[in-house]
Amino acid sequence: MKIIEIKLTNELARLTVYLPDKSPEMAHMDIRPGVLVIPGGGYSMCSDREAEPIAFSFIAKGYAAFILRYTVGHNKGYDFSMPFADVNEAMKIIHENADEWGVDKDKIAAIGFSAGGHLCAAVSTMGELRPAASILVYPCILESIGKILAFPVPGLDDKVDEKTPPAFIIAACADDLVPIENSLAYASALDKANVPFEMHIYEKGYHGFSLADRTVYTKAEADYCAHIRGWFDLCVTWLSKRFE
């Protein structure tokens, strides 16, 4: 595997590129779909459990993966325009290098978690280059959610239009940090714009469950995590059908 670290324009923001090796045993994988991974962290950090574990899971399914560590932080004079510039720059870099990297530029998805889900939805609704599909995991969507983030953010449910890519949405009713009304609002907006989507709302689950397996556990909640962790396979199946 080839790994490339790219510094972005904003200080400390970077894009990590993971390109699986080509092999004559897998000739049909010379050109791969790609997925941009956008970790959560309330715009105050980028969560590790929503970064490499996610990227490597997609790599195992035949994707090239890219992790965006975007501008974050409290009390530094930062605002939403900075991470939004980062995600736009990341998408541009991926598209510009797609041929060299063996990535199908028409099959580049983005996945975001929590605040990273907000950034993923932002590039999907307002981006210069929008992903071909978006995956939103317990996403922040509503303007009102800005009160728990590092800085105010725009609401994105009213930014959905006919150019917004299809979405796969995952959340949990029991999430006591980011209410599911965020996911429901985005789904409703997609429906009104006639944009395809699939949504799975689990009854139980804490905020930040990521893959919901032992690689990312932070709590002893194995019973319902065993159910929730099925979201990833459902997501890959959905995405594969979008990219046929």
pLDDT in tens, 80-99: 999 999 999 999 999 999 99
Least reliable range by pLDDT among 117-126, 145-154, 221-230: 221-230
Q: What is the DSSP string of 185-209?
A: HHHHHHHHTT--EEEEEESS--TT-
For the cut 80, the answer to whether the pLDDT of residue 225 exceeds it is no
- pLDDT class of 43 with cuts at 50, 70, 90: very high
User: In the structure, what pLDDT confidence band is assigned to residue 217 with cuts at 50, 70 and 90?
Assistant: low
For the whole model, what pTM was predicted?
Answer: 0.96
For the cut 80, the answer to whether the pLDDT of residue 69 exceeds it is yes
pLDDT of residue 74: 73
pLDDT value, residue 221: 62
pLDDT, average across residues 32-55: 97
Predicted confidence at residue 224, as pLDDT, reads: 64
Burial (CB count <10 Å: 0-12, 13-18, 19+), residue 62: middle
Q: What is the pLDDT of residue 215?
A: 80
Residue 97: CB atoms within 10 Å: 16
Of the listed ranges 17-26, 57-66, 151-160, the one predicted with least confidence: 17-26
For the chain, the average pLDDT equals: 94
Angle between the N-to-C axes of helices 115-126 and 81-101, in degrees from 0 to 180, rounded to the nearest 10:
70
- Percentage with pLDDT > 90 across the chain: 84
Domain map of the chain by residue range?
2-21+33-242
Which tokens is 183 given?
Answer: 């996911």
Higher pLDDT, 28 or 138: 138
CB 12 within 8 A of CB 76: no
With cut-offs at 50, 70 and 90, classify the pLDDT of residue 223: low
- pLDDT computed for residue 53 by the predictor: 96
Any idea which fold 2-21+33-242 has? Answer: Rossmann fold (3.40.50)
Pick from 71, 69, 162, 181: which is nearest to 124 by CA? 162
* Per-residue confidence (pLDDT) for residue 226, from 0 to 100: 76
Residues 114-143 have pLDDT tens digits of 999 999 999 999 999 999 999 999 999 999
For the record, the structure tokens of 159 come out as 């930014």
